[in-house]
Structure 1
Amino acid sequence: MHLFRMLRFVKAVLAGALAGAMIPLCVTLPLAVAALFAPGAPAEAVLLGVLPLLASLAVVLPASLVIGLPVCWLLRRRGAESAQAYLCWGGGFGLLLPLALVIAKGASEAILLCGPGVIAGAATGYVWWRGGAKRAADA
């Protein structure tokens, strides 16, 4: 039972990280492929290609642990679990995290992360909910 929840969590976090990194990956992957065929070090090209995914994962994983799991507990306790609830909570916190950087640090460029944040949060929430819904249907 706990293994299923762990795999469900990993799947949701990876899906959210990939979804959130998709827009930057559209820029960095072609650059990385071009850099692979240019003279120089291929390790930097590979790093350039996966850097958006690693950066997204570095945000999605702790946010899922600190925010996502308590929200899941709250929704389950109140009997309010649904796809819409997880999409809204995930997307909402995905929007709030970059906005918190803007407010706290005055980092106005962090506003550009709001779109990918919403996408990553909503995708993480939906995949988490979908995994639980399938499990409940199988039981």
Structure 2
Amino acid sequence: MAITVPRRQLFIGGQWTEPLRRQTLPVVNPATEDIIGYIPAATSEDVELAVEAARKALTRNKGNDWSKASGAVRARYLRAIAAKVTERKSELANLEAIDCGKPLDEAAWDMDDVAGCFEYYADLAEGLDAKQKAPLLFR
């Protein structure tokens, strides 16, 4: 049974889009040298679009300024990411194993590490609230 990587696009400005030049790069399983899928080949023009979209996002919602968000709010986002990684651990580990050519058990440990990193930084973010006297937004 051939395993393939799901088709991906670039995520720019809150939506999935094809790269401007519509080019892709092959994803090769190093264990078998089979092409298992294709990913978008972004160019500097795609990067410029992404940077511009990010700048607009920062100024779009002044009332929801991420730079002023409390550590607790940031921690909620980080923990939500960790939970999604844990929820999809099996799928992500399979993709990691075929992308890197590593044993599935090791790829599963990697997913635990990924989730653990997001939890670690969530703890640090919550610790900021106690250290800083900044206004707590987005409660």
TM-score after normalising by structure 2: 0.31
RCO greater where, 1 or 2, for CA within 8 Å and sep 6 or more? 1
Q: Which has the higher strand share?
A: 2
Larger radius of gyration: 2
Q: Which has the higher helix share?
A: 1
TM-score after normalising by structure 1: 0.31
